[in-house]
Chain A
């Protein structure tokens, strides 16, 4: 890529090497890298949303992988086929979720949950990862405090309702 240097030149006449090719190569590399990274990052970024937030941004997020956090409602689970259907809600918005895989006993009504997957065109969430919010130390949800408040409020509302 750089110009071939000439070994015949006596050492004394050699000036300091020309840095231009290196600078150009560096800039080209950095530019390419930036282009690839930002193009790719925009595709790879996974947002964490509540059902209400998703409702507001459905047009942008549909088909992209997202994490959605909320409370579990209307659980239907077949132990033998491992098919799971439930609704995830934050009180004001609710979406149906489908998941395939074993679910522990911790998974029950009104449990906090974070699911990772994609919404299809019918607004059904296809989860490929299911994280039951079982412990304060488990830090997967970024907005732990938000989620906690939200879940707490929803739980209180639920208790009042009963």
Chain B
């Protein structure tokens, strides 16, 4: 590795590589110091470990700046730049090339992890968990910094410097969303390392009260927000660039980001049972271990090439290394948790069947089953090939059969949970509380059926959404009448009303999913210049077809009128892959349904174009719903880390 560092042939590559090696050295030192600080309860070692985090962050930042500057200067003496960038790309594409391929994306991951570790080092309380939480962060850092410094270094110099780089993957420069989605995703993945580190620290020290949870609640929620936004941003990218009019295909790597989301969502709910009722202490540890492990699993699937996917990068030695880290996390997590099992027994009584915690727990089970199904569907082709040697894949129908009923079950629980009190509810008052929401749901379904909705899944979704909204509205209005105003509620209990807002966002999103999934229509035809044609009941006319040339390629732009409105879908061709035209659909967003037009083939002489028209209702509700979720979670993040008044139940349990 060291003979690859040459300041003469490639100064920036050498700078980056040296910075990563120094970061690795400080990571090792920090790990050693934090373990020492933990074992000997030596605050000076812990302090030194804390400062090592700063050094690691500084050096990884230096490395990422070196790569960025190499990309911006078209320094093709750096192999990564030569293979994934080119002089003629616009600046924003050069910047996104930083994470547009394998080595760079792991460097970004390492940098974000170092950044989180840095913030954590500033906010850590001086308690017994401190050295071990730092130590666990260093273990994660050791892996990612080590991978960048070792097997997947973006800083390999190139002996023969080309005049022009090979350029980024066309799919990544076709839409600005590719600048946003990976960063959001990594912020989400990496964010989970903090609660994981605290869980490990709690296990090692045996301080398994809810302290580690209340310290990391904000971190978890933040990671969850990033993850939510990232997944939907990925869906939006798919909708805006791939030209199939959909946003989710159950692609293995989509699944790989969805599994951590499911587990984190479960965790966010079950930690409340521990906070309020002192139950599920072991369960929560398991959930966060699984959630963090699943982010690594996702990356392993993504990078190893063992599953077929539109995201799969070329393999290389990174796959086995990730598999090793995955095994370490799982085995380490299991061993630690098993060792502490005697201390993880719950103090309180088991949840009563009719209580908020029971609803949360049932939701947890559904989230777990959901992630197990998604994981199994994703890995099944791999298992089949290993056993029988046959190539196969699992189609979307498999996932849809499960996700629809599970999703409906979750909507059902989401509506009843907030209506139930903690500890115990009696059936009579629950029936009273449910009367209005259930009535509203049934009414909504009847109205929809009269208006012509025939799909059972859509009717059920509608009913459950109406029932959720009615439940939330009842709770909020009742409280508002007591307190005087809505704004007072929001400022007094941001956590609760933030959660309500997020639930409302999820309702909007669910409606978008149900309607766009069930009522998507698509039609294809070939239009001759100036000729009117009917597609899906709309009148289409091809007005013009012209070519625009750019430094990095060219675009064929078609002007098409749909019922008098003008659309300009494009077909982009990038210089590095002239054989692959990339469609850019023209989408007109509207509240009730989008009109989506994509050119599928064009005539070189400009006489005709083949087009696909897609009409899907309520797609924009998915994007708006996500925005509401993010907003609600943001409000919740504003709430104080620890409730000002301990719940009465807390005292009762403590006396137990």
Contact = CB atoms under 8 A, between A and B. Distances in A.
B398 interface: yes
A17 interface: yes
A45 B309 contact: no
Contacts of A37: 373, 376
Interface string A131-143: 0001101111111
Interface string A29-64: 100010011001101111111000000000000000
A1 interface: yes
A157 interface: no
Contacts of A105: 601, 604
Contact of A137 (B169, B308, B349, B369): B169
A13 interface: no
B600 A104 contact: yes
Contact of A48 (B392, B579, B581, B601): B392
A46 B395 contact: yes
Contacts of A141: 308, 391
Contact of A14 (B349, B390, B525): B349
A99 B412 CA distance: 42
Given A11-B656, A82-B526, A135-B580, A5 B393 contact: no
Interface residues of B, number: 47
B608 interface: yes
A45 B350 contact: no
A4 B353 contact: yes
Q: Which of A4, A79, A100 has the most CB of B within 10 A?
A: A79
A105 B402 CA distance: 39
B580 A134 contact: yes
A161 interface: no
Interface stretch (B48-56, B257-265, B377-385, B639-647): B377-385
B565 interface: no
Interface in A137-153: 137-143
A103 interface: yes
A5 B579 contact: no
Interface in B360-415: 365, 369, 372-373, 376-377, 380-381, 384-385, 390-395, 397-398, 401-402
Contact of A104 (B308, B601, B612, B656): B601
Given A80-B526, A105-B601, A134-B579, A2 B353 contact: yes
A4 B425 CA distance: 13
B211 interface: no
A142 B393 contact: yes
Interface in B549-597: 577, 579-581
A129 to B, nearest CB: 10
B579 A106 contact: yes
A45 B349 contact: no
Q: Which 6 A-B pairs rank lowest in CB-CB distance, beginning with the nearest?
A: A44-B398, A102-B600, A102-B610, A48-B391, A142-B391, A17-B350
Interface of A: 1-2, 4-5, 7, 11, 14, 16-17, 29, 33, 36-37, 40-41, 43-49, 65, 67, 79-80, 82, 100-106, 134-135, 137-143
13 contacts: A2-B350, A17-B349, A33-B369, A44-B397, A44-B398, A45-B381, A79-B608, A80-B526, A134-B579, A138-B580, A139-B309, A140-B310, A142-B393
